Structure formats: C-alpha cells, structure tokens
Structure 1
Amino acid sequence: MDVADTDHPLRTAGTVEPVAGGFRLPASLPGLLAGLAGFGTLAGLAATGQAGWPVAGALTLAGGLALWSARRAGGNAAALARSEAALRQARGELAETQARARDFTAASPGWFWETGADHRYLTLSDRLGTLLRCDPGSVFGESLLDLAALVDDEATWAEYRADIEAGRPFRDLEVSFEGVDGRDLVLRLSAVPVRDADGRFCGYRGCGVDATAETLALVEAHFMQAVVHDAIDSVSEGFVLFSADGRLLICNEQYRRAYPTIADLLTPGRSFAEILRAAAERGGYEGEGDIGSWVEQRLTRHLQHSAPVDGRLSDGRWYRISEHATGTGGVVKILMDITELKTREEELAGQTARLKQTVTALRESELRYRQLVELAPYGIVIWDRSAIRFANGAAAAILGLAADALEGLSLAGFLENGNALEATFAAAAEGEERRLECDALRPDGERRRLEVAASAAIHGGEPAVLLVLNDITDRRRVEGELQRAQKMEAVGRMAGGIAHEFNNMLTAIGGFARLAERNPADPDRVLTCVQEIAKASERAAALTGQLLDFSHRRVTDEREVVAIAPLVRDLRVFLKPLLSAGIDVEIRDGAKEAQRDIAQDTHQDAHALVNPVTLNQALLNLALNGRDAMPDGGTLTIALTVETPDDAFFARHRGLKRGRYVAIRVSDQGGGVPAAIRDRIWEPFFTTKEPGKGTGLGLWMVYGTAQQAGGAVELEGEEGHGATFALFLPAVDPPAAPAGLDPLNVAEGEGAVILLVDDEDSVRRYLRLVLEEAGCTVVEASDGREALERYEEAGGLFDAVVSDVSMPRMNGLELARALEARNQLLPILFLTGYASRETAAGLTAQEGRQIVMKPVAPERLLQALRDLLAL
C-alpha cells in the first residue's frame, strides 16, 4: 500500500505540521501507534496460521482508526477556514496597494516606464503620449539607448550611457527636442535597475518629468542676470549692492576703479565689514583710534543710509557717495564722479576773486573793443530777431548801404531765402550757434557769397543774435579755378617729391664733367667723353625741371641765353639710340625751310632765353611722338629758322610780343593728327596711345616749355600728310663770352672762407673743388648740426655759407636761424633741387640770402657768391 494513499493510516492519523527545524507530529499519534501494534499482532497471527484472534482487539483497532479520522477531518476544516481568512486579508491588502499606486501615479506630474534586460521599452505610461501629443516611440525610439539623439552634449551622454550599459541607477538624464506643435521640450528621466533573486539584471523601472518650463525659466533668469550686470557695468557711476546680511552681491568696474587698493576684495560674497577692515589696513584709515571702532562706526553709517557725502577716494578723484536701502533690507551704494565739478568750483572761486579786477579792466577796454569792431575786416551785425540794430563799417560795405542806414531794416531783405535764414539764425539767440553759407543781394543788384556765423548776444537786455559776415565771393572763384587745375597740381606734387634727390645726382655728374672740361691736358680726363657726360646730365634733369615748371614749384625760371643751333645739332646724337633703325633724322638749314611770307635770318644767330634742359626735353618729346607716328619707318625732320611771324600768328596768340622768333619745327611722315582731336592734344593726360604706351604728358610739357620762354607751339599740316609741330621762342641777342672761374676774393688777394654744408658726399666734393679752384678756403659739414660745430670750432670766421636746404637732423632753414643768432650779417647761399615759391620766399626773406636751383654750374655758383659778398 502506498503511503501516499489517502486511506493509509499515516495519512489519516492526523496532519504533520511543519515547524522550524522539522515537523510536529499530530496529537493522536500515540493512539495511532497502539493501533499499529495491535495490527502487527494480527498480522503475526495470520502469518503463523493462527485464527480466531479475539474480536475485542479488532474492535479496539477499528475504534481507534475512526477516532483518528474524525479528528483529522476537524483539523482540516479549521485549517481551511484560516486559509480563507488569510486569503481575504491578502486580497484586501493587494487591492489597497494597487489603489495607492494608482493614486500616486495619477498625482505624479511625470510618467513611468519599464525596460527589459536589453533596454528595450516594455512599458511607457499613457501620460507620456499625452505630453508629446504623438506616439512616444516616434520620439524615444525602441530602446533606452536611442535617447542619444536627444542629448545635446556628447560628453554628458557618454557618462549616462556608461551607467546604463553597466546597469547602474541614474538620475536626471535631460533630453530636448522639438514637439509636434513646434514647442521646444525638455524632459528629465531617472531609473533604478531591476534584478532577480540571483542578482541578475532584468531591466530598468523609471519615471520622467517635463522640465521645459523650469529650463526656460532658468534661461530667462540667466539672460536677465546678464542684462542687469551689463546695464550696471555700462553706467558711468560706480555701483555696488549688498544683501541684508551685509554680503556683496553686485559690483561694477567703475566702483572697483574708485577703490584700487581693495579692488581685489570687491567680489560677490565678501562682507561689508571684511571689506572695511581691509581698506583700513591698506591705508584707508588715517585716524588715531582703534581700527575696529572705526569699522563699527563706518558700518553703522552704512546701515543708516545717511545723506550723500562728497569725498576724495583712493584713486585720487572726487566722488559724491550716496547709499540707499533696498526693499529686501540690502544696501545700494552709488559713486558719482564729481572731479570736474570740484575743479570747476575751484576755478570759479578763483575767478570770483579776479572778477572785481576784471570789471575795471572791462570798462577801460570797452572803448578799445568798440574801435576793433568798427575796424574789423569782417561784417558784424546785431539782430534782435526783428530788425538790424547794429552794423559796423565792413557789414555796411558787404550789404551795400551805409551803417546808419541799415539800422531798423529787416535782415531778410538782404539775403536770398531771407525768411528761412532768419528762422535759422533765430535759434542762435537761444544758445545754438549756427554756421552757414548764403548769398547776399545788394540793393544795386550785385550778388555776394557770404560765410555767416551766428551766436547768442544781448541787445537792450533782451536775447539777440550776433552775426559775423565774411565775404568769400573771391575765394570761391579762386577755388573753382584751382579745381579746374587739379590734374596739373597732381603732377606738381609728384614733381616736388622726386626733384631734390634726382637733382643732387645731376649736380655731381654735371659738376665733375665741367671740371674735367677745364683740364683737357690731363691724360686721365678725356675731354670728349666729359662733354657728353655734362650734356647727358642736363638732359636727365629735364624731366624734373619740366614737372616743377608746370607745378609752379620752381624757385625761378632758371632760364639762360641758349644757342639753339648747337643744341639742335647735338640732339641727333642723343636721339640715335632712341629711334628705331628704319627712321632717319635730318637737320635742315633755316633758309631751306623759309616760308614765302616770313622774313628769314641765318640759323647761326638763333639764340633764345630758355631753360636748355626743358627745351631738350620738349624736342625729345616731339621726336618720340614722330617716331611713334611712323611704325613702318620714315624721316624725322628738325628744321631751325629765325623768322618774324605774320599778323595771323599774333592774332592767334594775343599775349605774345611782336618781333623775331626762333622757330624749331619737328616733322614726321606719319598719318597726321585727326581734326577731331586737334583741340585736345595739348591737354594733360590726353593720349591716343594704348594703356602702358604713353602718359599723355608729352605735348603738355612742350606747351609748358613754350609758355615758360614767352613763346608758343602750333600744329601745322593736314591730316593724312604727316604732322609738323612748330615751337616759337622769342629771339634774343647772343650772350657775352663767359668770364671763366675768376678768383673769388673778399679782399686784395685774399680768398673767401666758405662753410660748405650738404648731406650728399659727391655734391659736396664737387662744390668744394669748384670753390677751391676759385681760391676759396672750404670747411665741409654733412648737415646743419655738424655745420654749427664747425662754425664754433673756427670761431665764426667765415665769409659766407653755402648750404643745401633739405638735410637730415637739421635742415638749411634751421641752420640759417641758428647762425642768425650768432651773426646776423653772415651771407648764406642756399642750394636746392626742389623748393616751392613760398619756401624760397621764407629762405630769402632776410637780406644777405640767395637761393640757386640744382644742378648748378661752376660759373653760376661763383657768380651767386660774388653777388652775395658784394652786398
């Protein structure tokens, strides 16, 4: 029989209840054991074949079993009743727990979620869908790791990802994205891991909250804080804010600059008492008492918010210091810089002391000022906004009436758009100065351009307007003329910049060449080569000289009587390397080119008062133009005549004097000048050549050369038959033979002692040789400062000074001023490659000074010194 059978005695003897450490046997177990013993006896009898065992034993066994069965059934019923009661209690507690969970969930502002061990979402509460207004999966993805796309900072996500992959709890994972309605949403997620009985990770359970409003509020708070701090830093006053407990909250840079000794302590969080003590220890306290008492006293005054006080702070400036209580119990302190006000107050105090003295002086000067007003070159008018009340003589002359006749008349009647101008000037009576230009209409109909300055004045104790009238009619006319000459001025500025240095080099080249020419017997100096060098230096100076002429920046015209025939003949040698192989140069005798209606002379007598350098340049420009007009070759002809032009010529050039003229004609065999541009060829910068092939200055310079010499230039010939440019120069008589380099003496047989100053070594050596050849004793200096040293060393025993104008350290004008203080009668000859007429006038304003342009020939240098020493 199986012990598991329900009829088995072990099953019916009673229940076996488990207890700690084993099982508890049922209470009927002893009876059960007695029955089992009897049952064993019966079994033994049966086994031995004995029968007829007593019926009483069997009945006893049966009764015991029945009793055990009944008692077992009663115990089962009681246990069942207890189990049902426990089940009902458990179900009630479960329902209560579920209700509480639902209440907490409903009351929570967030939502709940759950993932599996693979981090895929198992549960996302409905509230998340309501918040997103869309399927949460479309935003959060399928896995917790999909949140990477919603975290802005990669480093932050890396930290959270490490926690998630390790199964660690995390808090406040912030994700942000744009919602379906266009709003920016910010959500925060927190979670704890779920583990089984063996500690294995099963997933996450977590919650999330909407942090959008909080984040926006924080951003707004940060923005407002930045705005407030920027505004406070932008004000000109010092500003500091202390909290109710005396801690520094805000301090701008202006406040820190006012307290440089404690600027490092003016940081948020510092207490006012701590700052005061540091200020006292660092020199802010100069009293004799205890520093602690002073700090307490100052702290009390700080808390009482007394009236503003003025004081000079540690930065040395004056401030008006005011303290105000805030609504939260704090203190605002404001520093207003009043240094200028204090300075002005001190000035006013001094002015007040001098005011009484001034009153007397004003009375004495009143008559003097009245005279100045009457004699002033500017018109002065007092206008009381209704009529003219005063006008000086200059104003009367400008407006075309007598001064007394102007008084009482309307100002508007003398001005174009007078009513509008009166309204403008009226504002000056209130202190608003006005400056403008307008037209005055005189009674005789003449119009004058005025520059008017209007300022406040007093007349009869009432506000009025003081008008200062400046007649600028002539100035405006001159300005218009200057504007039309703007291009010529541009060339002038360029010429002024290069002339000095370039002419220094030309002076040395030409000077040494002329010295070599005077010693032809010296085998080291070949006369022919030296002559060509001298000619080349003169031609090289042509460009700078020409530009200076047209820019009106040459000191003098630098003209001399020139033999034209040799100059033209020498031009052939100079043109040869410049012209192409297919062009021949022909120099013609004057008689062959004579016109029928022009009286002729031999060209050997052709002399003109002209600058040879600029004349060479002009002829070179005409020759190069002729070359360019014959790209396929031809003949360039230069013809020279001396003739008396006809009446038609002088009619075309009304400013020229009648008489004999040297005519130089340069002709080419090109296509000629088109009629459409004949009137424009003399304009500066006009050219028909392609870019890079010409500047348009060539014919303009030729025109200038003719004007400088008092002559003219004309274009002859017709289009298609070549072009002939005729340069007419007034003919003059030949010059006398040069005197040569006679000795330059200041007394009988005694040569002059010259102080020579120039910063160019080659120029200085050339000038020294010239002077020494003329018997002079020369002392050299490279600039003005060295010249003063040489002057002092020699005791000032010089007969004259020859000095460059432009030099380093001390220029020629500064040297002249320094020497004037030592010897006002010392003659000074200035040499320069460039100087405006204004500069030249300043250099030669004093008697005993002259100026000569470089390059300078030996004869010209010595003649200028002779003229100076003869004064």
Structure 2
Amino acid sequence: MDVAGTDRPHPTGGAARPVSGPSGLSASLPGLLAGLTGIGTLAALSASGQVGWPVAGALAAAGGLALWSARRAGAAATALARSDAALRRAADELEGLRDRSRDFAAVTPGWFWETGSDHRYLALSGGLTVLLGCDPRTVFGDSLLDLGVLVADETTWAEYRADIEAGRAFRDLEVSFEGVDGRDLVLRLSAVPVRSADGRFRGYRGCGVDATAETLALVEARFMQAVVHDAIDSVSEGFVLFSADGRLLICNEQYRRAYPTIADMLTPGRSFAEILRAAAERGGYEGEGDIGAWVEQRLTRHLQHSTPVDGRLSDGRWYRISEHATGTGGVVKILMDITELKTREEQLAGQTARLEQTVGALRESELRYRQLVELAPYGIVIWDCTAIRFANGAAAAILGVAADALEGQLLAGFLAEGDALAATLAAAAEGEERRLECDALRPTGERRRLEVAASQAVYGGGPAVLLVMNDITDRRRVEGELQRAQKMEAVGRMAGGIAHEFNNMLTAIGGFARLAERNPADPDRVLTCVQEIAKASERAAALTAQLLDFSHRRVTDEREVVAVAPLVRDLRVFLKPLLSAGIDVAILAADESAHALVNPVTLNQALLNLALNGRDAMPHGGTLTIALAVETPDDAFFARHRGLKPGRYVAIRVSDQGAGVPAEIRDRVWEPFFTTKEPGKGTGLGLWMVYGTAQQSGGAVELEGEEGQGATFALYLPAVEPPASPVGLDPLQVAEGEGAVILLVDDEDSVRRYLRLVLEEAGCTVVEASDGQEALTRYDEAGGLFDAVVSDVSMPRMNGLDLARELESRNQLLPILFLTGYASRETAAGLTAQEGRQIVMKPVAPERLLSALRDLLAL
C-alpha cells in the first residue's frame, strides 16, 4: 500500500512532486539524473555560442532546483525510516505493557473496575464474577452510588458518599452481603479519580479485595479475647499480664483482692514501676532505705522471672507467686492461695524436722506439697464420663468407701439422682465448667451434702472431667443455725415496733370495749364499738401471721387467695427496725380489690428481700417506695414472658433512689449465688428467691429503671377475684335436723367461751374441757358419743397430740380438729399424719372453724 502523502504547494507556487515515500524517491531519480545531464549540455552550448546566455542561465537555474529537491527528498526518507523504527519500538513496548497488565490482573487476589463521570460502571474485571458466582451488577448495581444498601453503617456510608460525589479518592469502603452459596461475604473497595488534562473529573479507577476471611478472623479474635478474659476472671488464682514495656494489660478480681491497698492502681495501662511505687507509699515498703532503690530492686526481680515464691500479701493470706515470660517479651504473674497449705505446713513442721536435715530444700518442699494434696479435705476424681478412673483418699472418705474401691465404679451410683447429675457434669468434658450442689449416697445409706466443681480434663488421650468434691454437710448445718440465729436477732429488733403496733391495737380494743360497756343500751354505739374491736383484732391477727411467716412457723406452703393490700401495708412494721435512720418508707397500697393466689409466707419474704436490697442501695439515705396496683400489662410484657396468660395482674413495685443496676449485670441479678455485695454480706439468693416466688405463683418479676436513676423491681402476680363474704353461720349437722356433738378442749377460758358460742350458734351440742386429762374424763362420762373433737395443741398436763393418741385407742375414726397459735411444719405433719385430722391456725374466724369441721365430718 502506498503511504505517500497528498500533494502540497511548492514553494514557487507549482505543485509539489511526491517525495514522502521511498518508492516515490526511486521513481524520480532517473528523471533527475537526466535533467542534470541536460543542464550540463546547455551550459556547454551556451559557452560555444550556439545558444544565448539567457537560455543557458534558465537551464542552469532549473538544474540547481532539481538538485535541491533531491536533497530534500533524501532527508525526508531518512526521517521517515527513523519514525518507522520508533513506531515499531513503541508498538512493542505497548504490547509488553499489555502483557504485564494481564499478568498482574491474573495474579492479583482482587479485581479491578472503572466508572464514568456519572459513577456508572464502565468495566468490572472477571475476578469479581468468579468471586461472586454471578453477574456482579446483580449485587453491586449499575452505579457506584448503589453500594449504599451493602454498607452496614449509615454514618460510614454518608462519609464515603460525600467523597464519591466530590470526586475524591477513597480507601477500604467495606460492603457485606450474602453470596449465592449462602455464605456471608465482606468486600473492600478503593479508588482514585481520573481527570482530564484540564482537571475535569472523568470517573474512577479502582480495585477491590475479598476481606471475608480477614473479617471472620477478626470476629473470632475478639470472641476469643472475651472468652479468655472470662476464663481468667473465673479461675480461683490471681492473674496479671504485663506487656513487654511493663504496662498492665489484664488483671482479674482475685489478683486485686490479694492487694487491697493498691487495687485501684491495678488497671490496664499502668506501668509496673507506678504500681510498685504506690505499694511502697501505701505501706508495702517497711525498710529504712530509699524507696526508689527498693522499687528498682523489685522491678529487676520482676523482669528476671525468678522461680515461684511464697509470701503473705496485704490481704493477710499466703500466696504462691510465680512469674513467667511470654513469647512477646511480657510477663505473666500468677497468685495461688496456699493459706490452708501453709496452715498444714505449720502443723507438720514438727514431724518433718528430721527430713529437713537430710533432704534438700527443693525436694522437701515438693514432698510436703504432695503430702498436703493427699491430706486435702476435698476429694479429687477423674471421670471419663463412663467410670471413675482416679480418686484420692479424700474422695473415697467423702463417698464412704475404701480408697482403692472407687476406680472403675459408675459415678451415678454414688449420687442422688445420679443419672441426671452425670449428664449435667458430662458437659464439662466439652469445656463447659459446672458448679453445683448435690447429695452423695454412701453405701451405709447416709446422705452427705456435696459441693462439686467440674472442669475439662484429659485421661488416656480422651476427654474426661475433673471433679473436685467438698463435703459441706456440716457447713450447711452451721449456716442454717446461723441463719436461724440471725432471724431471731431480727425478730428481737422488730419486737419494739411490733409491741408498739400491738399497744395501739390493744388501746383500740380496750377503749372501744369500755365505751360499749358504759352505754350498753345504745345499740348503734355498741355496734360501732364492736366493729372497731373486730377491725383491731383482725389487724393484730395479720401482724401475728406475718411474724409467723417471717419465722417460718406457718404449717403449710400451699397457695391461698391473699388480700395483697393489707399484707403490703403491714410491711411497715417489720421494716421500721431494719431500715437506717435516713431512709423513709412510702407505702402506696390503697387498692383493696388486689387479690392473688399465692403463698403468703414466700410473698412476704420476697417483699422483705426487695425492701432490704433497696435499703442497701441507699447507704446515704433516700426514699424506699412500695406501690401496689392492679393492671393489665401491654403486649410487650407477654412477649417477654411467653408462658404467662394475658389478663389482669397485681403489680407490686419496690423502688429505691440508689445508683441503679449497671447494664452489664442486669441479666445476671436473677442467678442464684450472684451478688455484688462484699464477702460475708450477702449470699446472692435474695433476688433468686423473689424470682422463685413469682414463678411459683404463675407470675413474673422484672427490673425497671435506668442506671443512675435508682432501681425498681416489679413483681407481677395473676389477679384473682376476692373470696365471697359469708352471709351467716349455717347449721353444723350430722343428720337431718340433728346437730353435731362436739368435745371442745382449750385451756384459755375466753377462747373456749368464744368457740362454744360459735358452735352452739351453728346448732351444735358442746361439752367443754380445760386440758387433755379433763377431756378424757368428759369423753368417758359421755360414753364416747361425740361426733368430733376441737382441741388446742399446747395445754398443761396433757397437750393436744397426747390427747389424740389416747382418743385413738378408744375410737380410731374420731375426727379431731386442732387449733394452734403457732406450729412448725414438722409438728403440723405429726398432728395431721392420720386421716380424719386437720389443723387450723389461731385466731380462727367462725366461718373458718365451721368450714373445717364440715370437711372433717364429711370424710
């Protein structure tokens, strides 16, 4: 193909000859040579005179022009050859660049993309299609601005969108979505703007990478960090970790408790030198030299990671202190409480004096440690979820067998409800630690209460469980006695308040009785006085019942329909001696229609627990509010408690003005044994008992209020209709028109007269006796012709239980109704063990007395 250019004007005005290509130059050379020859000939002719000089001059000029043209054509040909060579070199370099770009794109872990000035995609590399397994536009959309729906945080997307709309470069825009295979994908995009020569924005060129694995690894790392922190807080040893530059990284509560004087300094970021100086200034340094030198000495010892040492720390207990270097240059410090071991060491010191003279200090220490482990009062068992593989002597003693008789035995055979407990403890083999209490069954039939901690172990290369057993039978017995003693102390503190209330009631009873006595002829006045006397006596009975509830002297745990408002109002009497002087009590319980089917004992105890928790939350005083309302909770309440039936509930709210409950422990306050109080000041069972009371009654309990604004505990109980008021006393008959014959036994004359009037009003024939022996005489005199016996329990000469035994020998089917002011559950169980016997608490209303007798006579 001819590559010559078009004709251009000649400098003289004529048309230029083609001179641009080598072929054109070759074609014109013969003519050019011929022209030069002709010019020479004409010059010769002019010289000889054959032609005139003008002609000769013109011919000479034409020859010079041809020579100049030839020279120009040669130069152009040379330049064109150089341009062809440069063009070929540029084409080769361009092809090389294309090959390199393809190679880089093939090995890069991500993909490339390009947009126009309107942010719509111009190109998306194939790597993205392979990664997604589908058309990228179905996920990314058509425009860079469509990525907003894939960014999890709206604030983050707003910042990136502002950069994109302004045409600025951006990095690491993170998008997340579910891939076609169901996996969650996380991608990161970065881009730079493309601009024209005049600076106008022409679009973006960018790349993207798959960050899914990195993100999952980060989430896993954070999870493992939380797990490690939780595990460190759960161990019984003190643990602290310092970084390579001596900064505190992790410290658990056990370690802080060992150093109470500097517990506030043991926070992340503190240097070891700062902590040492604070310890020295607060009493940790007892020398006479420079504190700075002491700090430097301790710091040097800390960095040397010496062998474990034993020492008594500022909390007064002994610890084995060991320091270890980490792989990153940090230091781990572990405190193991060896106070009990030290005590045993002191006891065995006299027995090991000869051994100390012949054996080195290290060997002696190891031997003594092994002896102490073997003599430890807690049992150690390795169980592979099939059989017991190892047990120390303490474990054998706890379970009541010989030391060599446990290996190979089934664990469930030594525990009450063994199969269920074994299934629970087996979870520890998978790493789920368990702590529980259970009963051990010795071969002799004796039961022992155990505290069992289960943790993961390895036996024979397979998973196993390490069980640490502690016999707490005696401790639980002592705790029970201590609780009873504390309760009696609390009852004593309440005595003043109760005496005050009873004096008020006795004043009302005695005053109204005197008023009625002074003017018996005025029926309206007498009726008013009698009604007030009845109210005061009911109030006294309610206080007595609450006092019995508090001391657990009620005879039954069964639920009954309870008027909640009086029960709540009566709390004031019990709280007066228990609350601090700076705490006011506001009781809002005016709704007399509030009734619930609940055990009054547990309800009373639950409200007292909530009130005392509110007291503890206000060490500087405040108002404790107990409010009662009957309400219908909203749908959100029943969504939280799916097991509850929609309807009306009695809500009792106990509110304080304390600091509130921190958000991080709000979900744990209902756990048994969880407490934020100092050791010895709480068992962690108070709120758990409140939760159990709500569950037993078919209700729920919730924590309301925000942190820093006090706490409100709301107890919800299903509302029931109040019992119908009795219209009158129906006759108590054993046959048509025939009243019952009752033997009435009570040592209190006034009580006996009251009961006789009630029975006679119901049509009964009553024979009285003041104690058990007189009752037997009256029984024999009447020939045993009694339909039932109503007897007090506590009486002189012969009590109610002994009377029942004597009457049983005469008539085994004789119904007996016992009346008592107080009785333990054990006593009540003994009185009602035989069919045809019931027990009713005093004071007893006429309707309750007759109802109980009807039930007995109907058997």
User: One fold, TM greater than 0.5?
Assistant: no
Greater Rg over alpha carbons, structure: 1
Shorter-chain TM-score range? 0.3 to 0.5
